[in-house]
Amino acid sequence: MTSDLSLAELGQVIRRLQSKSRVRPPAVSAATLESALGGRVEETTAGSLLVVQRRFPLEHRHGQQSLARAHAMAPESVGLLARGEAAVADGRRLLYLDTETTGLAGGTGTYAFLVGVGFFDADGFEIRQFFMRDLDEEPALLAALEALFQRFDGVVTYNGSGFDLPLLETRFVLGRRRWPDDRLHLDLLNPARRLWSARLSDCRLRTIEQHVLRFTREEDLPGEFIPAVYFDYLRRKRPGQLPRVFEHNRHDILSLATLTGWVATALARAPDTEHHPEELVGLGRLWERADVERGLACYRMALERGLESPGRERVLLRLARRAKSLGQWDEAWTHWQAATRSRHAFDPRPWEEIAKLYEHRRRDFTAACAVVEEALVRARVHLVPERILGSFEHRLARLARRSRRQNPG
């Protein structure tokens, strides 16, 4: 990881490094850099920069996933993934974006020296990568991005809410350009966490690629080394490892597009039996905001397909809460009862709900006492905090008094 530096400080570092060599490395011509990267110099309203373009047919497979799924996804799925934002009229009006930067901390001293974008057109998927050959080409990069943003309704990123978009917004503001904050933003990290956080060790894009897309990067340049590669280029003016940086960025964008297509297709088909129970739970959580019944159907299928603890208990409590809100007490009781059977942990909530049902709705204080007594036995086995034990003991004492008044004999 490289610390953030201002433009002036970066210039000083580069000059110091160059002064240590007796023979200053000769500047490499633009044609040499273009040849190494397979790009060309383009003019913008604010100067020139290097642009690398690649096209992929819709049938192109990234791992086991085709680009065609994202090309054909329904606007309804886009709206669900965008967490309630207004859906775009066409999924093809989305811009897939990823940045490579001089540091990972953000702030005004961090530059996005390479911005890659991907988008669909009539017959394929195009990736454009805008590269600053020197830091003074940032105005040209921002001008190119500003013109491109105007052509699309929304942006797709992976953790863009936490890094890419705030960084670009900062660069736009410093460059005295208006940031297009009216665009829909779909951050895939959020649905990825809902779908896979319970199964995978982490939800980094590279982990999702391997387990969901079945794509493995061969000899990929790790992201933490990318800032150093750019600083080396600035110092030597030689391509060095830059082609690997561009390849890394292209893989990120292809993963964004194919992963969006995977999730959108899964949403459109849910619930179905081809998905893992934990994925069905994630799909249910995504659907629940827009269509409660469809979300609940995903939860029920997850249970039918053997959802394991602790996800099983969480889903049972969700279903019980919904049944309770509708006054469906028998169904709620069934779900609470099932949730109490967990041997992995003790959750006081289903026990409390069953006790309250017996006490307040059925007026059966003896049965309520029995529930709380069993809950206390389970709670002590699991060494729960004293406050939980105290709550159950207080409830038991109150129920015992009511039971004695109800049955004085």
The verdict on residue 276 lying in a domain is no
pLDDT in tens, 190-235: 999 999 999 999 999 999 999 999 999 988 999 899 999 999 999 9
pLDDT band of residue 68 (cuts 50, 70, 90) is very high
What pLDDT score was predicted for residue 179?
93
Six token digits for residue 301: 């299928």
The verdict on residue 233 lying in a domain is yes
Which one of 269, 290, 323 terminates a domain? 269
pLDDT band of residue 108 (cuts 50, 70, 90) is confident
| C-alpha distances in Å from residue 53, one per residue of 37, 38, 134 | 10, 8, 19
Instruction: Find the Cα–Cα–Cα–Cα dihedral 13, 245, 104, 207, rounded to 10°.
Output: -160
The verdict on residue 60 lying in a domain is yes
- For residue 31, pLDDT over 60 is answered with no
What pLDDT score was predicted for residue 32?
82
Which one of 269, 300, 325 terminates a domain? 269
- For residue 405, pLDDT over 60 is answered with yes
- For residue 250, pLDDT over 90 is answered with yes
The reply to whether 219 and 131 lie within a common domain is yes
The reply to whether 12 and 112 lie within a common domain is yes
The verdict on residue 278 lying in a domain is no
How high is the mean pLDDT of the chain? 90
pLDDT in tens, 151-181: 999 999 999 999 999 999 999 999 999 999 8
What pLDDT score was predicted for residue 1?
42
The verdict on residue 169 lying in a domain is yes
The reply to whether 74 and 202 lie within a common domain is yes
Name which of 260, 249, 4 is nearest 130 in CA terms: 249
- For residue 366, pLDDT over 90 is answered with yes
What pLDDT score was predicted for residue 81?
86
Q: Once rounded to an integer, what is the mean pLDDT over residues 14-20?
A: 49
- In this structure, the number of other CB atoms found within 10 A of the CB of residue 372 comes to 27
Choice among 22-36, 291-305, 343-357 with the minimum mean pLDDT: 22-36
- As a whole number of angstroms, the distance between CA 380 and CA 63 comes to 50
The reply to whether 220 and 355 lie within a common domain is no
In the chain, the percentage of residues whose pLDDT exceeds 70 is 90
What pLDDT score was predicted for residue 148?
95
- For residue 284, pLDDT over 60 is answered with yes
pLDDT band of residue 86 (cuts 50, 70, 90) is low
Q: Once rounded to an integer, what is the mean pLDDT over residues 318-347?
A: 94
pTM exceeds cut of 0.75 = yes
The reply to whether 47 and 187 lie within a common domain is yes
The reply to whether 70 and 149 lie within a common domain is yes
pLDDT band of residue 356 (cuts 50, 70, 90) is very high
The reply to whether 209 and 340 lie within a common domain is no
The reply to whether 254 and 339 lie within a common domain is no
Q: By the 8 A CB rule, do 137 and 48 touch?
A: yes
pLDDT in tens, 110-136: 999 999 999 999 889 999 999 999 999
For residue 113, with 0-12 CB atoms within 10 Å meaning exposed, 13-18 middle and 19 or more buried, which class applies?
buried
What pLDDT score was predicted for residue 289?
86
The verdict on residue 246 lying in a domain is yes
Q: In angstroms, how far is the first alpha carbon of the chain from the final one? A: 76
Q: Once rounded to an integer, what is the mean pLDDT over residues 382-403?
A: 94
What pLDDT score was predicted for residue 92?
84
The reply to whether 366 and 221 lie within a common domain is no
The reply to whether 254 and 364 lie within a common domain is no
Which one of 269, 292, 312 terminates a domain? 269
The reply to whether 112 and 195 lie within a common domain is yes
Q: Going by C-beta distance under 8 Å and a sequence separation of 6 or more, which residues neighbour residue 352?
A: 375, 395
The verdict on residue 306 lying in a domain is no
* Domain residue limits at 397: 333-406
- For residue 28, pLDDT over 50 is answered with no
- For residue 27, pLDDT over 50 is answered with no
The reply to whether 360 and 251 lie within a common domain is no
Amino acid at position 169, single letter: E
What pLDDT score was predicted for residue 87?
57
The verdict on residue 141 lying in a domain is yes
Number of domains comprising the chain = 2
- CATH code of 50's domain: 3.30.420.10
- In this structure, the number of other CB atoms found within 10 A of the CB of residue 304 comes to 12
Six token digits for residue 176: 């005295």
